[in-house]
């Protein structure tokens, strides 16, 4: 078994065994606390530019299944785990997890003390790093890590967005036929979805609640979106810093009040900027499938799936126009808001449950209701 090294910009070095591709990748080093759903993490475009640590002690044991991909390929730069399983035990598995990542050139380092590594990042904050299965000079890797561009100020959404418009027709029932889900109903409403790094299960959820879905590139103008005659506009998740996405924010600002708007994750942050708010970078972010969020309208607590390193500053929002709807119970981070005067709302977390619990599926029904009330 070959060795691999994870080197951080602060000089910390962690050594382990190499799986996946014998390659070298760099990026922001982050951690995810979900117990399942590693394939959805691999293929979520929101992880573009990031090396991901998974805190669940064993990864790879149920392989990968094509139907569970959130996009056409993995977007993580590298994977860090305590123990990696080279075999898969799952009747749905198409490919072993190591082979799946190796096919796309993604390196894996296993055998690290991930608990110590995560505690280090919680104390110091997420930082730049290099994961290498080809270089043994740790000092050289630390210097490479220090030369990586910071995530702050980085526009990654434009890189991962679709280059051209397309229609999405698949519902959740097509992804999980064994669950006996009802077929997606005939579309009653037309949703235009901005792709800033959109996950497939979001599209499936929109289709499952009776929407015809047209996906458009991140820089599509508001005028071109309105020309498609949408009943509503969806703002997707995506990677990177929302602040550099000024053209996208300008387009969203033009759409507010013209058509119902629903945003998730990066879409939440962009809607926040469009209504005059500000965003900031979290010390180590929220990534996992077990985050408690309180719905401020109903007072109910939802267990939710998260993947964000930036957040909207609630103090920057005009209380006369914006109503806070969701707060994170771990640290008080803003997790959702709605416009008081226009049909527009958003959440920072992921209600599509891929991976994650189903507590927040109702938000897709809320969007349908909002569009139907026009």
Catalytic residue status for 361: no
From the candidates 268, 286, 308, 350, which is the catalytic residue? 350
Please say if 352 is a catalytic residue.
Answer: yes
Q: How far apart are CA 374 and CA 362, in angstroms?
A: 19
3-state secondary structure of 55: coil
Catalytic member of 9, 40, 302, 352? 352
Residue 350 falls in the annotated catalytic set: yes
Nearest to 263, CA basis, from 157, 173, 156, 162: 157
Which runs of consecutive H residues, i.e. helices, occur in the chain? 38-42, 97-103, 114-124, 138-146, 157-160, 172-175, 200-208, 222-227, 246-255, 266-274, 362-372
Distance between CA atoms of 85 and 96, rounded to whole angstroms?
Answer: 9
CA angle at residue 337 from 334 to 341, to 5 degrees?
150
Distance CA 100, CA 88 (A): 12
d(Cα 107, Cα 23) in Å, to the nearest integer? 6
**Residues 310/242, Cβ–Cβ less than 8 Å:** yes
Contact yes or no for 277/242 (Cβ under 8 A): no
**CA geometry: angle at 163 spanning 157 and 165, to 5°?**
110
Q: Are 269 and 348 in contact (CB under 8 A)?
A: yes
Write out the two tokens for 244.
Answer: 């550099």
Distance, in Å, from the CA atom of 118 to the CA atom of 123, rounded to the nearest integer, reads 9
Residues 266, 311: contact at Cβ < 8 Å? Answer: no
- Phi/psi of residue 160, each to 5°? -95, -10
Of 175, 211, 265, 346, which residue is the catalytic one? 265
Return d(Cα 275, Cα 320) in angstroms, integer: 12
Which residue in the block uniquely carries the two structure tokens 């806070």?
324
Instruction: Report the catalytic residues.
Output: 265, 350, 352
């Amino acid at each position: 078994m070959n060795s691999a090294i994870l080197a951080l910009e602060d000089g910390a070095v962690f050594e382990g065994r190499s799986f996946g591709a014998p390659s070298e990748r760099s990026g922001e080093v982050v951690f995810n606390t979900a117990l399942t759903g590693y394939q959805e993490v691999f293929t979520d475009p929101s992880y573009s530019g990031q090396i991901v640590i998974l805190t669940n002690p064993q990864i790879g044991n149920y392989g990968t299944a094509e139907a569970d991909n959130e996009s056409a390929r993995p977007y993580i730069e590298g994977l860090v785990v305590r123990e990696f399983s080279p075999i898969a035990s799952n009747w749905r598995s198409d490919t072993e997890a190591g082979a799946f990542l190796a096919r796309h050139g993604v390196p894996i380092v296993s055998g690290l003390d991930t608990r110590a590594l995560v505690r280090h990042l919680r104390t110091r904050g997420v930082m730049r790093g290099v994961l290498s299965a080809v270089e043994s000079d740790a000092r050289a890797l630390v210097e490479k890590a220090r030369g990586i561009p910071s995530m702050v100020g980085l526009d990654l959404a434009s890189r991962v967005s679709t280059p051209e418009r397309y229609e999405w027709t698949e519902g959740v029932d097509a992804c999980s036929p064994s669950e006996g889900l009802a077929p997606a109903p005939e579309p009653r409403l037309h949703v235009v979805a901005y792709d800033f790094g959109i996950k497939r299960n979001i599209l499936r959820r929109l289709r499952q609640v009776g929407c015809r879905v047209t996906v458009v590139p991140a820089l599509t103008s508001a005028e071109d979106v309105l020309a498609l005659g949408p009943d509503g506009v969806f703002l997707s998740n995506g990677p990177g810093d929302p602040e550099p996405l000024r053209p996208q924010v300008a387009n969203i600002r033009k759409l507010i009040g013209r058509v119902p708007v629903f945003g998730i994750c990066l879409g939440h942050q962009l809607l926040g900027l469009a209504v005059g708010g500000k965003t900031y970078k979290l010390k180590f972010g929220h990534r996992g499938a077990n985050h408690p969020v309180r719905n401020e309208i109903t007072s109910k607590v939802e267990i939710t799936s998260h993947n964000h390193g930036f957040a909207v500053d609630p103090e920057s929002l005009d209380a006369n126009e914006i109503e806070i709807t969701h707060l994170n119970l771990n640290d008080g981070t803003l997790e959702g808001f709605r416009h008081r005067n226009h049909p527009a709302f958003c959440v920072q977390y992921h209600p599509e449950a891929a991976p994650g619990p189903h507590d927040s599926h109702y938000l897709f029904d809320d969007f349908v209701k909002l569009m139907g009330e026009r």
